[in-house]
Structure 1
């Protein structure tokens, strides 16, 4: 295993919005389908690869993101990154410790209180709480999360993975959960697979039943016809039935869990938990 750490130029933030951060996260996932773990931080990134031949690809991804970021901010030509890093070889007996270290970065920098709360790392993928964990899904998610979260920056006793809470949640709670597990922004409103997941998650939490939003209300909220809505929810498991669809299982499970907040528009350094980064641009 090899550990790459790519750093922004001093005083530079890689992203100020979730839109920018998600773009960088996705670019790195696409550039390195073989990655072992990834965490995108406001001013640096950690990536673990099974080989030491990633410097050129990483440099290309860094350059591509810098162009995107500079055009978006009308700062064409600005230097964003320090030089592409030389990887550090990790000995086999230290591999799990390094995966833990990568996933704990947001907690140790006091951005979040739990590794599950940071959307720009692969921790959610390791524990099956994203829509497409791919090959990253750990063979024992509960044990892995207990190992990672059992840190003084989180809770020495570790924290628990979310469990399905079948309560009377409102549409916004369900929308927020789908935003979190799919890593998509609240605005613009979801379309395609994310909208379908939103509808099926609402159906699984009985939002269509009396006392809930109802068919007409949900159809209006997601901009679908009633006929299309009924086709979308067809086959959605009833309460307490096993959910075999991995994306739906993740979304249903995290509804109501505060660690899975929505990805909202806005300038992130204005948030209290980003106070350490407010001086950077």
Structure 2
């Protein structure tokens, strides 16, 4: 780190749990952020500001007027632009020293190769089909998944390391029968709830890299913003999970 880096990240470096070594770990880290919407917007801003050295952002969508109520990384002049381009500009405006890679064509064919490049994957998507694919890729490539969801006044957050023998994956928590109409398009959302959950998602991703505190691995945090109620549940590994149990068995026989 040079003098500018020491000044930029000074408030983090002075934390004994981070220090210069921890800040260097962040600068050396690569994170894949999938979805630059209500969750991904605050996540992207805080990961960039905190000094995550390489952030890969993936989203096929373009900015629309209805996004601006909660997707705070995008501004009115960005309408019609790819969300990845809009987000990259704001991230580099905050921190021009990081690397931002944009993807508009993340697909089943190339998902695993991009996941394999990351130290942590942040899932900010809003449908079960995509979440299941991301989870499977993370298990296969042995990459930690930080998953968040938000709807109405409610949020959920968890960290999955399903590639480990005693840790559940996302599909241990949700079966393939998930209801895809449970999204903000169909049900609405209060804007700060998305900001709150996206910020927590970035926090957990940074804590994973720095190996700090409660990482929510094997746990599900459920937040009711209307009541301001927080609950944490333990998630068990599903003995019949077709994703992480198959991976565990493969590891044992190899």
Larger relative strand fraction:
2
TM-score range, shorter chain: under 0.3
When the two structures are superposed, what TM-score results if normalisation uses the length of structure 1?
0.25
